[in-house]
Amino acid sequence: MKRGGDKLVTNPQGPDQGGNQRVRAGRGSKGKPVATVKFGSAAVPIYRTQSGRRVRFTISHYRHGKRLRQAFPTLNAAKREAQLVAQRIQSGMQHVTDMKAQDREAYLAACRMIEEFDVPLVSAIEDYVRCRRIAGAESLAAMAADYSKHFGHITRRANVPEVVEHLLINKQQDGVGKRHLGQIRSVLRRFAAAHPVPILEVTSADIDAWIRSLDVGPSSRNAMLRYLNILFTFALEQRYLPEGKPTATSQLKKVKVTAGDVRIFPVDQFRTLIHAAPPHLVPLLSIGSFAGIRMAEILRLDWSAVDLQRRIIEIRPGQAKTASRRIVPVTGNLAAWLDPLPRHGRVVPSGEILKESTALARALGIEWPRNVLRHSFISYRIAAVKSADQVALEAGNSPAIIFKHYHELTTEEQAAAWFSTLPKPGQWENAHDYDKKKRIVTLKPTVYSI
């Protein structure tokens, strides 16, 4: 590059031994600098100009792609500024001074193009190279447009724990029942603790591996998946996930629950259990087994919803799992169990009643499988009425599920025996000792185990 005009000049000799700039001064003929300040390979010429009787010393250089001219009243003042300019050029733009004119213009044009993004040129080039390696021969602009189409509407990238807490707050504000909210909280916080990453990065494989690691049965695995589906559907609604793409949970199928997974009470075992129960356990045992109401729904049930004259139990929207009202018939034997009881307030005062009932079963040597009361009711009920549609309506389930999992598990004779179970003589005098802390029932001598 020629040393003249207002161009940057490279000094092939470099700085002096002390590393300082060297200055050549002279009168300066027309068009030539009166002095040149150098620092390293950067050189800044100083020109002497005159307007009338006033003499000025001018330096000219480029900054951010723009040409700058500065005039000073004395040569020393111009030299001081030229020194700063030369140092700045040497430290940050030395490569520019060694470029050909067309290369320098290309460099400055590139700097102008990325100026709005406030990133160094080298960072922009690194991003381009990385993207080009990923894209191969594909158009980067087309790929970016496709990405924006799917991910551009996302409001922000949130971690799984953040989304879980946001969901729990919304559910609580929406008035979700305490028991149901507690189940959602338990499952989702465990999942969040295991996946403290952006929810956008969680895959269906991650979810499947986590559920399998819990080592639970098919029904429990399906329940876990339902709760996680609530989370990912919420994330999609809140724009934490891309619109128009399937969520990670939607790509997972429920585990097939075979008939062998539905376990029920044999009639003789259940009769032993309920005939040994003291009065305060009877509502839970009888309603669960002869009406098939879900345990969570029984715990929310009030006696005002039990109408023995009309022989119905009303499950209201706020009590039902499905948030829809349904009417459950009261069978003749269930009315016989409920009629002698005081009926005011909550049907089951607390969840401790369920724990005490399972403790009584253990004391009698009877196994209590998960959801055994409801499973027993549905199995015996479909054998009695022979209509999956009717049982589905009473149980608040789908006919397909009823027919698939409960059909022909019991006989009509067994169903008749189940729904003819009545209180025994002396039923209402039953009593036992219950250690709440240890969850142990101690039977009275008159109660025998099978």
The token pair that represents 154 in the structure block: 């996302």
Q: Are 293 and 307 in contact (CB under 8 A)?
A: no
Residues with Cβ within 8 Å of residue 20, at least 6 apart in sequence: 39
Summarize pLDDT for 354-386 with one digit per residue, the tens.
Answer: 999 999 999 999 999 988 999 999 999 999 999
Helix (H) or strand (E) holding 59: strand 54-63
Cα–Cα distance measured from residue 211 to residue 418, given in angstroms and rounded to the nearest whole number: 36
pLDDT at residue 148 in the model:
59
pLDDT at residue 286 in the model:
97
Helix (H) or strand (E) holding 184: helix 178-194
Q: Is the pLDDT of residue 29 over 60?
A: no
**C-alpha dihedral sign at 263, 264, 268, 271:** positive
Predicted TM-score (pTM) of the model is: 0.51
pLDDT at residue 449 in the model:
42
Residue that the structure tokens 């149980």 belong to? 395
Which of 102-116, 133-147, 184-198, 235-249 is most confident? 184-198
What residue ranges define each of the domains in the chain, with the CATH number in brackets? Answer: 160-256 (1.10.150.130), 261-443 (1.10.443.10)
Buried b (16+ CB within 10 A) or exposed e, 365-378: ebebeebbbbbbbb
Comparing C-alpha atoms, which of 354, 386, 384, 366 is closest to residue 290?
384
Residues with Cβ within 8 Å of residue 240, at least 6 apart in sequence: 154, 155, 156, 157, 158, 163, 199, 200
pLDDT at residue 261 in the model:
66
Average pLDDT over residues 19-30: 46
Cα–Cα distance measured from residue 394 to residue 397, given in angstroms and rounded to the nearest whole number: 8
Summarize pLDDT for 311-350 with one digit per residue, the tens.
Answer: 999 987 755 455 567 899 999 999 999 999 999 999 999 8
In this prediction, what percent of the chain has a pLDDT beyond 90?
42
Summarize pLDDT for 400-449 with one digit per residue, the tens.
Answer: 888 877 877 899 999 999 999 999 999 999 999 999 999 999 998 755 44
**Least trusted range by pLDDT, from 15-24, 223-232, 382-391:** 15-24
The token pair that represents 4 in the structure block: 């003249």
Q: Which amino acid is at 87?
A: Q
Cα–Cα distance measured from residue 272 to residue 264, given in angstroms and rounded to the nearest whole number: 14
Q: Is the pLDDT of residue 164 over 80?
A: yes
Cα–Cα distance measured from residue 79 to residue 70, given in angstroms and rounded to the nearest whole number: 11
Integer CA distances (angstroms), 45 to 30, 36, 87, 99, 211, in order: 14, 4, 14, 18, 73
Summarize pLDDT for 420-430 with one digit per residue, the tens.
Answer: 999 999 999 99
In this prediction, what percent of the chain has a pLDDT beyond 70?
83
Summarize pLDDT for 183-203 with one digit per residue, the tens.
Answer: 899 999 999 999 999 998 899
Integer CA distances (angstroms), 432 to 131, 145, 283, 354, 364, in order: 73, 72, 17, 15, 12
